[in-house]
Structure 1
Amino acid sequence: MADQLIRATAADGGIRAVGVITTRLAEEARKRHQLSYVATAALGRTLSAGLLLASNMKRPGSRVNIRINGNGPLGGILADAGLDGTVRGYVDNPQVELPPNARGKLDVGRAVGTEGFMYVVRDVGYGYPYSSTVELVSGEIGDDVAHYLVSSEQTPSALVLGVFVDATGVTAAGGLLIQVLPKAARDEALVETLETRVAALSGFTPLLQAGKTLPEIFQDLMGDMGLQILPEVQMVQFHCSCSPNRMLGALKMLGEVELQDMIEKDGGAEATCHFCNQVYRASVDELAQLIMDLQAEPQR
C-alpha cells in the first residue's frame, strides 16, 4: 500500500482523526541513515508523528519540527514534516542497538530514555514560529507526543504509532491520531467508548499487516459515531530540501580565508546533510568561484 494520509471526522465534527501509512518513507530513512532496528523504530515513529501534527495546519508551507532529547543511547531525534506531506529526519546515534524489552518488542523507550524533553516548533507560514517544550513521559514517542498535545494544546488526544522492521527492512509503519474537541468532550459515554476501542488496539502495524486500510481502521473505531471520511488522499514521502546550490551557499558563509584553506589543503570540500545523509562535494573550481563572488560583493 502506498504511503498516504487521510483525514476523518465523527460526532458532528466533535472528533477529528488522521491516519498515515509511512512504510516506504521509514524504509528510505533506514537505508539513508543505515539505522539499527531500534533506531529505525524510534525515527519512524517520530516521522509519522510529525506528519500527523502537520496535517492539522492550514497555511501552505506550514511545517512542524519535533526534536527529542532523551537520556538514552540514541541521543537526539529530529523530524521535520510539512503540510505538503513531506518529511525528513535523523538520529544522532543511528547504529545503537538494544535487546528487546520484557514484551519482546524493540525497546524504543530505553533507547530514547525516560528523562529529557521534547521540543515542538510549529511554523505556520507567517510571523514567528510557535514553540513548546514538554518533559518526556516514556520515551516511546507516541506517549510523549500525546502528552504534548494535552499539555500544550489542551486537546485530549489518542496517538498510536508503529514501525515493524525485520531483516528485510521496514514492512509496516504509520500512525493514527484521534482528538476529541470540546463539543464532543461533554458526551462522556462517547468519549469512554472511543477510549476503550483505542486502548483495545494491539498496535498500528498489526492492523496494516492484517491487510486493513486506513478507512477500514476508522470504520472499526468510529463507524457508529457518525464517521465522515474526507475524500482527499494525500501522498506522503521522505523528502529533503537540500541541494548542491544550498551546500555551496553554506560554504560561502565560511569566508575567503577558510575557502582558500580548503583549496590548498583538501583540494575541495565535502559536506553531508544531517537530514538525509546525502553527500555533496565541491571542486576546487567551485570553491574558487565562491571566493571570486565574495570579492565582488560590496564591502560593508
Structure 2
Amino acid sequence: MIDKLIRATAADGGIRAVGVITTNLTEEARRKHNLSYVATAALGRSMASGLLLASSMKKEGSRVNIHVKGDGPLGTILADAGLDGTVRGYVQNPQVELPPNSQGKLDVGQAVGHNGYLHVVRDVGYGQPYSSTVELISGEVGEDIANYLVVSEQTPSALLVGVFVGANGVTAAGGVLLQIMPKAARDQSLVTLLESRISQLSGFTPLLRAGKTLREIMEQLLGDLDLFIFPEFHQVKFHCGCSFNRVLGALKMLGEAELQDMIEKDEGAEAVCQFCAEVYQANETQLTQLIADLKAE
C-alpha cells in the first residue's frame, strides 16, 4: 500500500476530514535514524500529524514544523512537513526504549514526557511564519496536537494517529484528522459526535492492519453525515532537501580560522544531517577552496 493522503468533507461542509497513510515513510525514518520501537512511534505520529496539518495550507512551498519537547528520555522530537507531501524528522535520543504501558502498548507518553511544550510553526510561503506554543497534556503526540488546534487555532478537532512497529519494522502508520469548520463550530453536538466517533475506534493502525483503506475508514467515521471524499489523492514521502552544496555553505559560515583548524587537525570535515542522517565529508582541497573564496570576498 502506497503512502498517500486523501481529503473529504461531511455535514454539508461543516466537517473537514483528512486521512493519511505513512507506513513506508515511517519505516524509512526508522532505518535512517536507527530508531527504537518507542522512538519510531513518537516520530511517526509527529510526521503523520505534520502532514495532516500541512494539508490545509494553500500556497505552494508552505510547511509545518512540529517541535515536541517533553521531560521524557526521548528529548526533542522534530517533524517538518510540506503541502507538497514531503516530510522529514528526527528524535534527539533515538535509541531510548521503554517497557510497554499498562495496556501493553508502546509507552510514547512516558518516553516523550507529560510535562513540556509543543511548538508549531506554520510557514505559509510569504511574510513571517506563524508560530504558537502550548503545554503538553499527555506526551502521546496526537492528543497534544488536537489540544494545540483547539487552544491555539480555535478549531474544534479530533485527531487519531498511530504507528505499529514490530520485529520486521513498521507495518502500519498514519492518521486521520477531523475538524469542525467555522460555520458549524457553534454546533456543540457536532463536536461531541466527532469526539465520540474517534473514541470508539480501537486505534488507527489496527484498522490498517485489518486491511481497511482510507476511504473505508472515512466511511466508518462519517458515512452517515453526507460524506464526500475528493477523488484525487496525494502521495506523501520522506524527503530531505539537504545537499553537499548546502553543507559547504554551512562550513563556509564558520570562517577562515575554523576551516584552517579543521584542515590542520582533521584533514577535512564531516557533517551529518539531523533530519535524514546523511553523512557528508569535505576533504582538505574543498576546505582550502572555501578559505580562498572567503578571502576573495
Corresponding residue of 2:97? 97
User: Match of 1:54?
Assistant: 54
C-alpha separation in 2, matches of 1:111 and 1:265: 39
The equivalent residue for 1:63 is 63
Alpha-carbon distance change, 191 to 254 in structure 1, aligned in 2, over 3 angstroms = closer
Secondary structure of residue in 2 paired with 1:58: coil
Aligned partner of residue 5 in structure 2, secondary structure: strand
**TM-score, length basis structure 1:** 0.97
Q: Percent identity?
A: 72
How far did 1:185 drift? 3.4
- How far off is 1:266 after superposition? 0.4
Match of 1:79 in 2: 79
Q: Could you tell me which amino acid in structure 1 is paired with residue 264 of structure 2?
A: E
How far residue 231 of structure 1 moved from its aligned partner, in angstroms, is: 1.8
Q: List per-residue Cα deviations over 1:105-136 (Å, max 9, x = no partner).
A: 00000000000000000000000000000000
CA drift of 1:295 comes to 1.1
Amino acid of the structure 1 residue aligned with 2:261? D
Q: Residue 79 of structure 1 aligns to a residue in which SS?
A: strand
- Distance, in Å, in 2 between the alignment partners of 1:28 and 1:88 is 10
Post-superposition Cα deviations, 1:27-73, rounded to whole Å, max 9, x if no partner, equal 01100110000000000000000000100000000000000110000
1:115 is aligned to 2:80: no
Deviation at 1:22, TM superposition (A): 0.3
- Shift in Å at residue 192 of structure 1? 3.6
Q: State the one-letter code of the partner of 1:229.
A: I
Q: Deviations over 1:75-106 (max 9, x none)?
A: 01000000000000000000100000000000
Gaps of 5+ in 2: none
Distance 1:121 1:189, change over 3 A: closer
Structure 1 residue 209, shift from structure 2 partner: 0.4
Number of residue pairs the alignment of both structures matches: 297
Residue 203 of structure 2 corresponds to residue 206 of structure 1: no
Counterpart residue number, 2:179: 179
Do the aligned partners of residues 194 and 118 (structure 1) sit closer, same or farther apart at CA in structure 2, a change above 3 Å counting? closer
Q: Secondary structure at the match of 1:61?
A: coil
Corresponding position of 1:215: 215
* Mapped contact 2:77–2:92 kept (Cα < 8 A): yes
Change beyond 3 A, Cα 1:263–1:103: same
Letter of the 2:211 partner, please give it.
G
Q: What TM-score, normalized by structure 2, do the two folds share?
A: 0.98
What is the Cα deviation at residue 190 of structure 1?
4.1
Deviation at 1:212, TM superposition (A): 0.6
CA contact (8 A) 2:70 2:113 kept: yes
Q: Secondary structure at the match of 1:215?
A: helix
CA gap of 1:74–1:213, structure 2 versus 1, over 3 A, is: same
